[in-house]
Amino acid sequence: VELIENEIMEKQINMTWNDIAGLEFAKKTINEVIIWPMLRPDIFKGIRAPPRGILFFGPPGTGKTLLGKAIAAQSKSTFISISSSTLTSKWVGEGEKMVRTMFAIAAIHQPCVIFIDEIDSLLCARNENDMESSRRIKTEFLVQLDGANTFAGENSRILIIGATNRPDDLDEAVKRRMQKRLYIPLPNSAGRKQFIQRMVERESHGDEGHQINLDDKSIQELVEMTKGYSGADLKTLSQEAAMVPLRQIDDIANVDILNIRPVTLEDFKEALKNVKATVKQGDLNYF
């Protein structure tokens, strides 16, 4: 219990939709099917009863975890986040117990969002090579999922969010229980523009040494050069670009912070040579 409370539970998250660039369709859908019902369970019952589980699927690094956090923040819920690899590796042999404990804690801390990253690797279609331990985790998970839904009935305020890059690999029984699916795509040009604009705004209030100097025209150029880049790629790219001015300084240990020049479009171009889009066009055919 302590492990869960210390490591994977966050009671208060300061995040808003504005911290997530683009994804307008996802945000709108999430608002209607998740946030409103969590805020007004009295209205969302019967025919308006919300889904108990939702599946975010799409390429990696597109903001699925961020969305999970934003949901918890907006609905003033406790956020429990766990990745399948944690369940299966860190607590070897204890996974089943972990799942049970996690749901018990969630029940105490309602409303609560349980976010399960890489849910496909935990709850993939059963196969004969499954280790006994992973089979047991799977079964326990399904039992708990049904329990969370039926125990408290319509009053249950536990939401399960699964994130996956491989929705088709999921176990049939899990698919049935998580019928609401939401595709989280790579950012389109509007999304990339928002990402870059917000970053520029953020940095202009930060340390003098971290300013980014991009005017509207440069931002547009950068947007066009980063087609196919995920949010996570854009972040890596920006970190790389921000290093370029530093590399031109002889004595970084003694440099006056005011003498560090702002990051420019040229620096981003330099960074583009090394930081490529991680999601390949071919990978997208999968979705």
Question: Closest Cα partner for 147 from 99, 109, 179?
Answer: 99
* CB closer to ligand ATP out of 96 and 160: 160
Residue showing the smallest CB distance to ligand ATP in the complex? 231
Question: Of all helices (H) and strands (E), which one includes residue 123?
Answer: none
Q: In Å, what is the CA distance from 252 to each residue of 71, 208, 245, 249, 256? A: 41, 15, 11, 6, 9
Cα torsion 7, 75, 122, 182: sign: negative
Two tokens at 161?
Answer: 């969010």
d(CA 128, CA 138): 14
Contacts of 199 (CB under 8 A, 6+ apart): 212, 238
* CB closer to ligand ATP out of 50 and 59: 59
* CB closer to ligand ATP out of 149 and 197: 197
CB of 277 to ligand ATP, least distance (A): 13
Question: Of all helices (H) and strands (E), which one includes residue 55?
Answer: strand 53-57
* CB closer to ligand ATP out of 63 and 162: 63
CB of 60 to ligand ATP, least distance (A): 3
CB of 44 to ligand ATP, least distance (A): 26
CB of 142 to ligand ATP, least distance (A): 23
Binding site for ligand ATP (CB under 6 A): 20-23, 60-66, 117, 163, 165, 187, 195, 231-232, 235
Query: How many other CB atoms are there within 10 angstroms of residue 30's CB atom?
Result: 24
* CB closer to ligand ATP out of 96 and 242: 242
* CB closer to ligand ATP out of 20 and 102: 20
The tokens 């302590």 sit on which residue? 2
CB of 184 to ligand ATP, least distance (A): 6
Query: How many other CB atoms are there within 10 angstroms of residue 125's CB atom?
Result: 15
Give the single-character DSSP code of 212.
Answer: B
CB of 259 to ligand ATP, least distance (A): 29
